[in-house]
Structure formats: C-alpha cells, structure tokens
Amino acid sequence: MNFSQNKPKVYFKTFGCRTNVFDTQVMMSNLKDFEVTQNEKDADVVVINSCTVTNSADSTARGYISGLKKLPKDPRVVFTGCGVWTKGEALFKEDKVDSLFGHSEKENINELLLKEERFFQAGDLTHIDETIVEEFIGKSRAFIKIQEGCDFRCSYCIIPYVRGDARSYTEDKILEQVTTLAANGFGEFILTGTNVGSYGKKQHTSLAKLLKKMALIKGVRRIRMGSIEPIQIDDEFKELINEPFMAKHLHIALQHTSKEMLQIMNRRNKVLSDLELFEFLSSNGYALGTDFIVGHPGETDELWADAMQNLHRFPLTHVHAFTYSKRDGTPSATMKPQIKGDIAKIRYNELVSIIDEKNFNFRKNNTQKLEILVESVKNGKYLGLDQFFNQIEIDSPVDLVGDWVFIDDYEVKADKNVARFK
C-alpha cells in the first residue's frame, strides 16, 4: 500500500460481520492513488461498508451518514456493502451519499474514487475477488474469505438476496492468500464467508480438505472458523477436530432450540441431531458457540419454554444472541404474531444468563493450559483470546502484543480469565 502526504485520504467505516471486515481489507489493498487514514476527521473520502441484515442496521448506517456533515473537511461519502441492494438507491436519489458501488466492484475502488462525477455501480451477485490481501491493519489475527453467498433461504434472512447464491474461492487462491499472510507474520487465521460450511460446493472439494492443506503452510498455527451450520459438520470434518491446528472452539448456528420454531424459520437443522452433535464435540474438549434469534414472530410462551428446556441440555459456552428485528423483503417480516419488545428483552436476558453460567462453569472446570494470542493492550492490561475463544486479561511488565503465551495459572472471573505473566 502506497502512502504519500499528497494523496487524498480515505477513511473506511465498516459495519456488520467478519466478511465485511475482509471486504474492507480488499478495498484498502486496491487503493493506489489514495492514502488510508484511521482518523475520520482527516478524511477527504469516507467509504461506508454497510450491513443490511436488519432494518435497524440500515438505520444505523443512515445515522452515521448524517453525522458526517459535522466533519471539518466535509468528505465525499461513498456507500458500498450489502445495503447497496436494499437502501442504496434511496440514499443516492436523496443525495445522502455522493456515490455508490456494490460488492463486485470493490476491487475497482481506485478507479471509481478517481471519478469526479457521481456514480451508481451496483454490479452483480456472481463475482469472486482476485485480490491477495497482504496485511490486516490493526489486527493480530487474519481473516480469510473462502466463499461468498448462501443457498439457504431462512425466513428471516435477506443476505442471499444481497450477496447472491453460494460460490467458493478457488483453493489455490485461498492457499496463496494464507501463505502470503503467514509470511507476513500472521499465525492465527479465521475462515469467513456468508456460509463458510458450504465451501467447495460444485468444486469437488470441501472445507475439511481445505483445512488440511492450510495446516501444511509454514507459519499457520491456529485456524478458527466463522459460523457453520450443523448439517455441514460431516464425518470428514469430524476426523480433523483433534488436530493441533484446530482452535478448540466452533461456532455452530442453531438459531433456536424449539422444533416448531425451526420450522417457522425455515431452518434445515433439527434439535435432536443438533444436541447429539454438540455432545460429541463437547466430549472432545470443544467450547461451543451459537447464534440464537429471540422473539421471532410465532415464538409463543409455550415454544419459548420448550426452547429453554432444550437449551439447558446443550453444552454451550458462547452465544451471539439477537432480539429479532424485522427485515423488509423477508417472509418473517409479515408473519404473525409479532412478539412485543419487552417480552423479547426478558427472553434475551434469560438466554444470555444461561449461557454465561455455562461459560463460567466451562472455564472453571478447564484443566488444559491456555494458548493465547495477545491482540491488544488496554488500561495497561494485555488482552487476547485462548483456544476456546474466551478472553483473558494479562498483567505483564513486558510488551506482549502479537505474542503467543501459554498460561496455566489464572483466575476465573465472571466475564473473563485474569492472569499474571512475567
């Protein structure tokens, strides 16, 4: 990436998921006539990489756009990301943004930003990037995008309509990406995408085969995965779970633990087979996280009680819980009955409380030495994640940022582990 005091400065504002984080790095990597700034007050151009998973995500982006008027340099505002396909046209027509481009155009960002006139280039939903990202600014871990799009059609989800159907990056391109980043000092890699577990579809390969080849690359120390569907953890994948390169944590998307609610959501997973899978992985020492939507239309008191009864049986340690937020254009948006916000909040708190207790007990009962990549320092304490995706706060007289440390003497607190490293 070239830097010069004479080049216009671009600030990237990224909303949403890890896939968007990677997409922002792709855009940064393709800038030649501009300089990246991490201070929006210095920006001549602000590029907004938007999320549109819920109506509120759209509102958040719109609110951010309005706030840009207060910046001293009155930057040019360029809009991209998933919101292009839902709210982009309205933002453009209302002159809320100066220009707009879709996912498939992000590798052309340099040429697009050089245009003096306004532009609207939504592109297509079939594109696969060719860019090799060489760095992740401000990151100790590297995100590796292995696929794009999703073939599932869950009733609440707009993403397949703004990201397209599932398609995979070529194995050679992914391995080249990992090799480059490993040579640049990255040791932990997080595989990301719209639907990670669908990797290899129509390419006569699989996620498990990719993992095996990644593990052979010099410098690759630990591999994590983004959210994966229960039905995508097949026998070939299970053969790898005790390999040393695998982080001892998987995030498996359940979305609910009521059989009837899963049907309403048009989900493909089943409660009993999900439980069997989780118990198998837990018996192999895994911490297990999930996504869970609370307050989806149709979630009666009886179905919620059934879901919580089932949830207690799952060996979960982490949860990414959502209170359902309507997404226009999805089947769920017109479903009845809608669940009142105060009821959804109570249910959300109940769910999170259950998982917090499970996580505390998991950490308290753990007997394995923690292997930690230290990522940052805050208020004089070093912060990192262990192999189980649990945060640890480390007090140390030496600079640990970017280092791997092993710790077996630590204090288990409610929200994290705490240790001293000499």
Asked if residue 400 and residue 351 are part of one domain, the reply reads: no
Q: In degrees rounded to 5, what are phi and psi of residue 223?
A: -120, 125
Whether residue 2 lies inside any domain: the answer is: no
Whether residue 376 lies inside any domain: the answer is: yes
Asked if residue 256 and residue 205 are part of one domain, the reply reads: no
pLDDT at 247 over 70: yes
Summarised one tens digit per residue, pLDDT across range 259-274 is 999 999 999 999 999 9
How high is the pLDDT of residue 5? Answer: 60
Asked if residue 153 and residue 105 are part of one domain, the reply reads: no
- The domain that holds 80 is classified in CATH as 3.40.50.12160
Q: Which domain holds residue 137?
A: 132-225
pLDDT, mean over the chain: 94
Whether residue 207 lies inside any domain: the answer is: yes
Whether residue 205 lies inside any domain: the answer is: yes
The pLDDT confidence band at residue 1, using thresholds 50, 70 and 90, is very low
- The domain that holds 163 is classified in CATH as 3.30.750.210
Asked if residue 379 and residue 350 are part of one domain, the reply reads: no
Which is it for the CA torsion 111, 191, 332, 343, positive or negative? negative
- The domain that holds 268 is classified in CATH as 3.30.750.200
Q: What is the 3-state secondary structure (H, E, C) of the chain?
A: CCCCCCCCEEEEEECCCHHHHHHHHHHHHCCCCCEECCCHHHCCEEEEEECCCCHHHHHHHHHHHHHHHHCCCCCEEEEEEHHHHCCHHHHHHCCCCCEEECHHHHHHHHHHHHCCCCCEECCCCCCCCCCCCCCCCCCCCEEEECEECCCCCCCCCCHHHHHCCCEECCHHHHHHHHHHHHHCCCCEEEEECCCHHHCCCCCCCCHHHHHHHHHCCCCCCEEEECCECHHHCCHHHHCCCCCCCECCEEEECCECCCHHHHHHCCCCCCHHHHHHHHHHHHHCCCEEEEEEEECCCCCCHHHHHHHHHHHCCCCCCEEEEEECCCCCCCHHHHCCCCCCHHHHHHHHHHHHHHHHHHHHHHHHHCCCCEEEEEEEEECCEEEEECCCCCEEEEECCCCCCCCEEEECCEEECCCCEEEECC
How high is the pLDDT of residue 56? Answer: 84
Domain count, the chain: 4
Whether residue 335 lies inside any domain: the answer is: yes
Higher pLDDT, 303 or 203: 303
Summarised one tens digit per residue, pLDDT across range 50-94 is 999 888 888 999 999 999 988 999 999 999 999 999 999 999 999
The count of other CB atoms within 10 Å of the CB of residue 296 is 23
Mean pLDDT of 326-338: 94
Asked if residue 325 and residue 263 are part of one domain, the reply reads: yes
Asked if residue 376 and residue 280 are part of one domain, the reply reads: no
Is this prediction's pTM over 0.95? no
Asked if residue 295 and residue 277 are part of one domain, the reply reads: yes
Asked if residue 165 and residue 64 are part of one domain, the reply reads: no
Whether residue 240 lies inside any domain: the answer is: no
Whether residue 233 lies inside any domain: the answer is: no
Asked if residue 267 and residue 361 are part of one domain, the reply reads: yes
How high is the pLDDT of residue 134? Answer: 82
Summarised one tens digit per residue, pLDDT across range 333-352 is 999 999 999 999 999 999 99
Summarised one tens digit per residue, pLDDT across range 349-384 is 999 999 999 999 999 999 999 999 999 999 999 999
CA distance 399 to 349: 37
Asked if residue 389 and residue 354 are part of one domain, the reply reads: no
Asked if residue 311 and residue 266 are part of one domain, the reply reads: yes
pLDDT at 166 over 90: yes
pLDDT at 121 over 90: yes
The pLDDT confidence band at residue 330, using thresholds 50, 70 and 90, is very high
Whether residue 1 lies inside any domain: the answer is: no
Distances (CA, A) of 135 to 265, 405, 420: 38, 22, 30
Asked if residue 391 and residue 353 are part of one domain, the reply reads: no
pLDDT at 411 over 60: yes
The count of other CB atoms within 10 Å of the CB of residue 251 is 19
How high is the pLDDT of residue 53? Answer: 86
